[in-house]
A and B are shown apart, each in its own frame.
Chain A
Amino acid sequence: GQQLNQSPQSMFIQEGEDVSMNCTSSSIFNTWLWYKQDPGEGPVLLIALYKAGELTSNGRLTAQFGITRKDSFLNISASIPSDVGIYFCAGTNAGKSTFGDGTTLTVKP
């Protein structure tokens, strides 16, 4: 079946630093999504990407839909303590989403 490889698995950074994480797949996806999940809560949508090559920003977050449609990255600029959490990528085809296993982000003040 379809699988997503998300990296890195975890990151420990200093407040103010920029962060980059990515997802790759052997399968093509029509949509790439990035979610953030806090403990005990459901994933919250951050950015949705619909076209190959698309670059989209949401505040300090920027994500790109890879040109091959098999990868995506998420950048967070000038990290702050509330950026702590688990970030998931998801690829979607025909309504069904396949998720990566997440990148756990820790931000040290």
Chain B
Amino acid sequence: DTGVSQDPRHKITKRGQNVTFRCDPISEHNRLYWYRQTLGQGPEFLTYFQNEAQLEKSRLLSDRFSAERPKGSFSTLEIQRTEQGDSAMYLCASSPDTGYNQPQHFGDGTRLSIL
């Protein structure tokens, strides 16, 4: 399977702990996106990368959130000092670098539950 891969699929942690998620995009895709989705809503944009450069960050991405894509391949999303409101599905998507409006292909997400 050569789709977008996310790890872990589920993460349960106590409030105040740090968590890190990983995303491996489709291999020939240079653009990588992070979204957050809560129950009953559509995905909300968090940030995106063109190769290793982080080009845009949403205001949803507080100082406790940081995303990296050090070699332009896989990406990590870290949440520090987790809060109850961070409970959500975190989705990663990728798209090819052939125009800004190429459709994004999603992974199956990491579901985060904060106790």
Contact with A along B86-108 (1 / 0, CB 8 A): 00000101010000110111111
Contact with B along A31-56 (1 / 0, CB 8 A): 10101000011111100101000000
B100 touches A90 (CB 8 A): no
Contact with B along A14-43 (1 / 0, CB 8 A): 000000000000000011010100001111
B106 touches A42 (CB 8 A): yes
Instruction: Report the stretch among B13-21, B37-45, B62-70, B76-84 that lies at the interface.
Output: B37-45
Give A residues with C-beta under 8 Å from B.
4, 6, 30-31, 33, 35, 40-45, 48, 50, 88, 90, 92-102
Give B residues with C-beta under 8 Å from A.
4, 6, 31, 33, 40-45, 48, 55-56, 91, 93, 95, 100-101, 103-109, 111
